[in-house]
Amino acid sequence: MQRLQTVRLRGARVVYGDHFPLIAPCLIAAIAFALRVHRLDGQSLWFDEGFALHLASQSLPQMIEQNPVGWLPLHSIALSLWLRVVGDSPFAARFFSVVFGVLVVALLYLLARTLASSRTGAMASLVGALSPFLVYYSQEARTYALWLFLSLLSAYLLLRALGHPERIRGWIAYTGATSLALYTHYFSIFLLPWGAAALLYTAVRSRRWKTLLSGVACQVVVFVVSVPLVGFARSSMLDRYGFWRSPLSGFQVVLDLWYHLTTGGNLPFDRALPVMGTLAVVGILGLVLFRPLWNGVLMALYFLVPTFGMLVLSSWRELYVARYLAIAAPAAYVLVAHGLDRLWAATTAYRGLLGKSALAVALCSIGVAGYSWCQALQNYYYNPDYARDDFRSAARFIEVGEGEKDVMVMSGGGIFTALLPYYEGHLPWIDMPSFGEWLDEDQVVEGLNALLAGRSGGRVWLVLSGNQITDPQNLIVAHLWTYGHVVEAKNFPGRTGVRVLVFSARHDADTLTLTPFKYEHLRANFDNKVELLGFEIDGSQFAPGDDIHLALQWEAVTHLEQDYHAFAHLLNDRNVVVAGHDKVPLNDYFRPRAWPVGEPLRDEYVLSLPENLSSGTYELEVGLYSYPDLQRLLVVGASQRERDRVLLPPIIVDG
């Protein structure tokens, strides 16, 4: 018999059938599949995908041993089994995610139908099918499609178990799905407090305390099963540097997360504001009009628990990346779908102005979302600036131009896994540093000299991607720039970007031979927080229009509580800045708060001299200041003239 639901909207009584034609979710699943298969191999593998394929090609002990900080093994194991059956091409690896991406859309239907109605379920699955965010991660050979599926399956199975608490197999299924989700991504831990809230509410409301005990027992089993993950978690917590440093406020985190959930990051932020605002309003409307309201609260908690958890974790260590909160996306889409459903229901429940207004709001919301998502998907599929990093084109560029005595150096911490699947050349290569490590100068000098030994006249093809994370001191580029010169350079578009530089030996040498940098030593102590150990300038006499390349060597004396900014200024005889470079030392991924205590760090500055600069002698000052109050740090024991700065040897400009 067809079950009827009663929904009240401002006093009006609306009765509609919960039956919904099965053809609708099937058509939506077909749309989801088509969008996820379209141009599946149109973009190159990027670094994370390449490393995922690399791990999947290893034996199980090697997978565990080489598993990077922040990754968990289930995806690698499942992908390995998949690739053994269907082949190990990039297309096959991404198709694994397509399968789970479509299943996520199906689960959105089931979850929303359980909490609201079949019509809300169909709308939720349609929102998920069209979402640029879900399309992107359904086409990526990484863990996120599998994680979304398992976490959403866990939530759905818990609701099913609460509906039929006497069925033991329901609790077993919930326990299994939650355990698998935890082995897929660390932030699956947020499923447990969300599940606890659902269990407690149901037990209190129905006074079925056995239900609460059953759920708690399941969660205890999940904890026990997940004990082997402690080793992985410990490695992540003790990671010396960490790759993601995002100094964002709580408001910025929520805003950036909503931007990605509503656009996939495929629109300029200002053009994304209409769809962000529209879907936020519709989602809030969907929450307010949920009947029973607790079902809407459950979805709100599904969004808020991981988001709040991320904010708490980021107060301890800056971790935020939008994809780490992909688990929150289904809740957002269910609330938006329910808001659209209630607007649509109001168009038939009310006559006159109120019904027409509801229809206008519904059509406007659908139009804004549809137009914005069409643009976002078009950018994702066809605009190189929104594509993944193009290692495929970089590999072909090297193949065409490589010489017999050339060598290839990759800087990015394991980017060989993304480049080599496309590279069919024959150059000897090195990738520095190994994934999860941090590069030091001895590695650079020894590694490059060993690679170049006996290859007189050969060039170095340097491939850069993500090197600002693994080589924040820019040691590889700095050494090659110092002892060689660039003969060719090319940038390949993408979200991070890939750059290829070709270096040859200088005219007075046959082979590139590197030696450690030699700094002019000094020990300037800035407020007992940071010491300036030394400096290096690429000359003392320059012409107008030249660039002065300056390297400073910093060392943190204590753990820094804020990200100080550094300055390098060239001053004329009236103490006016004629050229300068102010910035966060090193880079945004390795800001001062992340510096290890007692370790020298190289930091580079470029001062561009004006073309009309007068000849003469100029002072060069360097120092640190807090931001945004612009208060300079004082130099301990310095003279009055150098109390808030260090003066380096003067620069002569001869025009």
Residues 190 and 97 in one domain: yes
Name the CA dihedral angle for 222, 223, 228, 229, rounded to a multiple of 10 degrees: 90
Rounded CA separation 623/577 (Å):
14
Cβ atoms of residues 79 and 52 within 8 Å: yes
Helices (H), 317-429: 329-349, 353-382, 391-401, 416-419
- What is the per-residue pLDDT for 454? 83
Take residue 37 and report the two structure tokens written for it: 């298969």
Residues 378 and 406 in one domain: no
- What is the per-residue pLDDT for 11? 32
- What is the per-residue pLDDT for 233? 67
Taking each helix axis from N to C terminus, what angle separates 90-115 and 74-86, rounded to the nearest 10 degrees? 120
Convert 120-142 to b/e letters by CB count within 10 Å (16 or more is b): bbbbbbbbbbbbbbbbbbbbbbb
Q: Strand, helix or coil at 199?
A: helix
When pLDDT is averaged across residues 379-393 and rounded to a whole number, the result is 94
pLDDT-derived band at 590, boundaries 50, 70, 90: confident
Cβ atoms of residues 94 and 140 within 8 Å: yes
Q: Report the sign of the C-alpha dihedral through residues 116, 30, 332, 214, in that order.
A: positive
Between 97 and 441, where is the model more confident?
Answer: 97
Confidence check: pLDDT of 507 > 80 = no
Residues 30 and 124 in one domain: yes
Asked, for residue 254, whether it belongs to a domain, the answer is yes
- What is the per-residue pLDDT for 441? 86
- Structural domain total, the chain: 3
DSSP characters for 569-586?
A: EEE-TTS-EEEEEEE-SS
In 3D space, the residue among 480, 649, 484, 463 whose CA is nearest the CA of residue 570 turns out to be 649
Pairing status of strand 565-571 against strand 530-537: unpaired
Choose the final residue of a domain: 362, 386, 410.
386
Asked, for residue 430, whether it belongs to a domain, the answer is yes
Residues 414 and 346 in one domain: no
Residues 6+ apart with CB under 8 A from 168: none
In 3D space, the residue among 401, 402, 432, 404 whose CA is nearest the CA of residue 416 turns out to be 432
- What is the per-residue pLDDT for 250? 81
Asked, for residue 513, whether it belongs to a domain, the answer is no
pLDDT-derived band at 17, boundaries 50, 70, 90: very low
Dump pLDDT digits (tens) for 233-270: 666 655 554 444 455 678 888 999 999 999 999 999 99
Rounded CA separation 343/359 (Å):
7
DSSP characters for 571-639?
A: E-TTS-EEEEEEE-SS-TTS-GGGPPBT--EEEEEEEEPPTTPPSEEEEEEEEEE-TTT-PBPPBTT--
When pLDDT is averaged across residues 67-75 and rounded to a whole number, the result is 82
Q: What is the mean pLDDT of the chain?
A: 89
Between 568 and 71, where is the model more confident?
Answer: 568
Confidence check: pLDDT of 315 > 90 = no
DSSP category for residue 6: E
What is the percentage of the chain residues whose pLDDT exceeds 70?
A: 93
Between 509 and 340, where is the model more confident?
Answer: 340
Residues 461 and 382 in one domain: no
Name the CA dihedral angle for 384, 260, 142, 106, rounded to a multiple of 10 degrees: -120
Rounded CA separation 492/589 (Å):
21
Count the neighbouring beta carbons within 10 Å of the beta carbon of residue 551. Answer: 19
- What is the per-residue pLDDT for 482? 86
- What is the per-residue pLDDT for 240? 52
Confidence check: pLDDT of 350 > 90 = no
In 3D space, the residue among 624, 571, 560 whose CA is nearest the CA of residue 593 turns out to be 560
Choose the final residue of a domain: 359, 386, 413.
386
Rounded CA separation 384/379 (Å):
8
Name the CA dihedral angle for 445, 446, 450, 453, rounded to a multiple of 10 degrees: 50
Asked, for residue 647, whether it belongs to a domain, the answer is yes
Residues 326 and 187 in one domain: yes
Choose the final residue of a domain: 386, 418, 449.
386
- What is the per-residue pLDDT for 238? 57
Residues 401 and 375 in one domain: no
Pairing status of strand 460-464 against strand 407-411: parallel
Dump pLDDT digits (tens) for 513-546: 888 898 999 989 999 999 999 999 988 889 999 9
Taking each helix axis from N to C terminus, what angle separates 191-206 and 209-225, rounded to the nearest 10 degrees? 160
Domain that holds residue 646: 520-653
Least confident of 116-125, 361-370, 421-430, 438-447: 438-447
Count the neighbouring beta carbons within 10 Å of the beta carbon of residue 424. Answer: 9
Rounded CA separation 64/55 (Å):
9
Task: Please report, for the domain that includes residue 572, its CATH number.
Answer: 2.60.40.1930
- What is the per-residue pLDDT for 319? 74
Dump pLDDT digits (tens) for 128-171: 999 999 999 999 999 999 999 999 999 999 999 999 998 999 99
Residues 6+ apart with CB under 8 A from 109: 25, 28, 121, 122, 124, 125
The length of the chain in residues reads 655
Residues 207 and 331 in one domain: yes
- What is the per-residue pLDDT for 3? 36
Asked, for residue 634, whether it belongs to a domain, the answer is yes
Dump pLDDT digits (tens) for 184-202: 998 999 999 999 999 999 8
In 3D space, the residue among 105, 57, 97 whose CA is nearest the CA of residue 81 turns out to be 57
Which pTM value belongs to this model?
0.87
Asked, for residue 220, whether it belongs to a domain, the answer is yes
Residues 337 and 441 in one domain: no
Asked, for residue 7, whether it belongs to a domain, the answer is no
Residues 379 and 403 in one domain: no
Dump pLDDT digits (tens) for 552-566: 999 999 999 889 999
Least confident of 93-107, 166-180, 216-230, 388-402: 216-230
Which strands, in side-by-side order, build the sheet including 577-583? 541-542, 646-653, 616-625, 565-571, 577-583
Cβ atoms of residues 530 and 512 within 8 Å: no
Residues 493 and 553 in one domain: no
Query: Is residue 329 classed exposed, middle or buried when 0-12, 13-18 and 19+ CB atoms within 10 A define those classes?
Result: buried
What is the percentage of the chain residues whose pLDDT exceeds 90?
A: 69
pLDDT-derived band at 508, boundaries 50, 70, 90: low
Taking each helix axis from N to C terminus, what angle separates 329-349 and 90-115, rounded to the nearest 10 degrees? 50
When pLDDT is averaged across residues 216-245 and rounded to a whole number, the result is 74
- Tokens 């102590």 — which residue? 525
In 3D space, the residue among 549, 558, 557 whose CA is nearest the CA of residue 603 turns out to be 549
DSSP category for residue 327: G
Count the neighbouring beta carbons within 10 Å of the beta carbon of residue 182. Answer: 25
When pLDDT is averaged across residues 579-585 and rounded to a whole number, the result is 94
Asked, for residue 541, whether it belongs to a domain, the answer is yes
Rounded CA separation 283/354 (Å):
20
Residues 369 and 400 in one domain: no
